[in-house]
């Protein structure tokens, strides 16, 4: 027999994946985003994460393909806001890599996208409206930009390992997710 499922029922049985990082473990924040530790060698304000534990970038990439199907995301903490931004940035990279067929070109493009200027909460062009409050001052603005520049660069480097197979060919399964928008939003140039 056919059973019609309502959106409310689906949300009750299939919630979005949230970050496992607890708010009380996050020492710093910028625009209500947790400045959480990262497993990276890229310089920036993030503390070093333990190499044997998942960091926010691992969580973002592991949950990306599931979370991208959700139009709503219930924010449960500061790390969730960080994950939302990084999920949108992952989608942005996938869109930018649609016409790139080799890993070296993609690596260069991802690095260039990571270090270029980007909009922050409170500026025109910010896609998430009031979900992220604008920075309170110049210090918070600089912290947000520096942290997400570092996180964007690291996320691009790790995404390459998933987007390209060991033989150098593109993983079409990952690339196909460039067509899906997380929460109906996307980052723009």
CB 94 within 8 A of CB 61: no
What are the structure tokens assigned to 114, written together? 């990571």
Residue 5: is its pLDDT beyond 90? no
Residue 1: is its pLDDT beyond 50? no
Q: What's the rounded Cα separation, in Å, for the pair 162 and 159? A: 5
CA 188 → CA 96, 113, 125, distances in Å? 10, 11, 8
Mean pLDDT lowest for which of 3-7, 83-87, 108-112, 139-143?
3-7
Question: With 0-12 CB in 10 A as exposed, 13-18 as middle and 19+ as buried, what is 134?
Answer: middle
pLDDT in tens, 10-45: 444 556 677 777 767 777 899 999 999 999 999 999
Task: Give pLDDT, residue 15.
Answer: 63
The model carries a pTM of 0.89
pLDDT in tens, 38-75: 999 999 999 999 999 899 999 999 999 888 888 888 88
Q: What's the rounded Cα separation, in Å, for the pair 81 and 73? A: 10
């Amino acid at each position: 027999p056919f059973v019609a499922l309502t959106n409310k029922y689906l949300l009750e049985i299939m919630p979005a994946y949230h970050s496992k990082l607890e708010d009380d473990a996050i020492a710093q924040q910028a625009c209500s985003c947790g400045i959480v530790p990262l497993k990276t060698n890229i310089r920036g304000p993030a503390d070093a994460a333990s190499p044997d534990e998942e960091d926010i970038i691992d969580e973002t990439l592991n949950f990306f393909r599931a979370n991208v199907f959700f139009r709503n995301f219930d924010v449960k903490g500061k790390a969730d806001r960080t994950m939302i931004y990084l999920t949108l940035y992952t989608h942005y990279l996938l869109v930018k890599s649609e016409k790139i067929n080799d890993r070296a070109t993609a690596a260069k493009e991802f690095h260039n996208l990571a270090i270029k200027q980007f909009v922050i909460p409170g500026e025109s062009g910010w896609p998430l409206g009031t979900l992220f409050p604008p920075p309170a001052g110049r210090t918070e603005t600089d912290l947000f930009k520096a942290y997400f520049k570092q996180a964007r660069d690291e996320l691009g480097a790790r995404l390459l390992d998933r987007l390209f197979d060991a033989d150098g060919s593109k993983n079409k399964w990952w690339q196909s997710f460039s067509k899906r928008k997380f929460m109906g939003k996307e980052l723009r140039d």
